[in-house]
Amino acid sequence: MKSKKNLVLVGMMGSGKSTIGYLLSKKLKLKFLDIDNLIEKEMNMTIKEIFQEKGEKYFRNLEEKITIKYLNLKNSVISLGGGAFNNQIIRNEVIKNNFSFWLNCSNSVLISRIKKNTKRPIANKLNMIKFEELMNKRSKIYSKANFKINCNKLSKNEIITKIIELYENN
């Protein structure tokens, strides 16, 4: 089989990278790689435990190493952690050799989703204002992805169809 570029999903916590990535991989018959899960498997610890016991700097180094390793595979749908695209080494690698999609959602959608789950160490520390500040800062970075998908008014199926159209026509 001819090897195909990876589809890489970027975006804020709660934007649906893991859910959409998994469904997309089934539809396209590609492997699905969720980088946060792969980090947890490698360390045998949850992301929350890694932040608590080893600190954020340790997590970011590990995230870089593991993300770069998996970006080298082909024929995969890869969902990045919400902060990974901030890392210039990861970003350059994603942009150079992959199709990247920013799953863009409004702050209110993101906040309502992440409030339901306390597994995210970065989100747990943020109040509404800090979350908006982080989103504003990160939006400039996420916008460097090849394509921006405005997810607010779209169903999961519509998001997937849009991504596949862009992937197949580019």
Rg (CA), the chain: 15
Strand segments, DSSP code E, in 39-85 are 76-79
Q: Which of 16, 25, 33, 82 binds ligand S3P (CB under 6 A)?
A: 82
Binding mask 40-69 for ligand S3P (x = CB under 6 A): -------x----------------------
140 or 170: whose CB is closer to ligand S3P? Answer: 140
CA atoms within 13 A on the CB side of 47: 18
Instruction: Find the shortest distance in angstroms from Cβ 116 to ligand S3P.
Output: 12
Rule CB under 6 A: is residue 120 a binding residue for ligand S3P?
Answer: yes
Asked if 47 contacts 121 with a C-beta cutoff of 8 angstroms, the reply is yes
Interface region with ligand S3P, contact rule CB under 6 A, candidates 21-29, 76-84, 140-148, 155-163:
76-84
Q: Which two tokens stand for residue 122?
A: 């970065």
Q: What's the rounded Cα separation, in Å, for the pair 104 and 11?
A: 6
Rule CB under 6 A: is residue 113 a binding residue for ligand S3P?
Answer: no
Q: Which of 7, 23, 76, 83 binds ligand S3P (CB under 6 A)?
A: 83
Rule CB under 6 A: is residue 10 a binding residue for ligand S3P?
Answer: no
Instruction: Find the shortest distance in angstroms from Cβ 13 to ligand S3P.
Output: 4
Strand segments, DSSP code E, in the chain are 7-10, 31-34, 76-79, 99-104, 147-150
Rule CB under 6 A: is residue 121 a binding residue for ligand S3P?
Answer: yes
Q: What's the rounded Cα separation, in Å, for the pair 45 and 125?
A: 20
118 or 157: whose CB is closer to ligand S3P? Answer: 118
Under DSSP, the state recorded for 140 is: H
Q: What's the rounded Cα separation, in Å, for the pair 114 and 120?
A: 8
Rule CB under 6 A: is residue 159 a binding residue for ligand S3P?
Answer: no
Binding site for ligand S3P (CB under 6 A): 13, 17, 36, 47, 81-83, 120-122
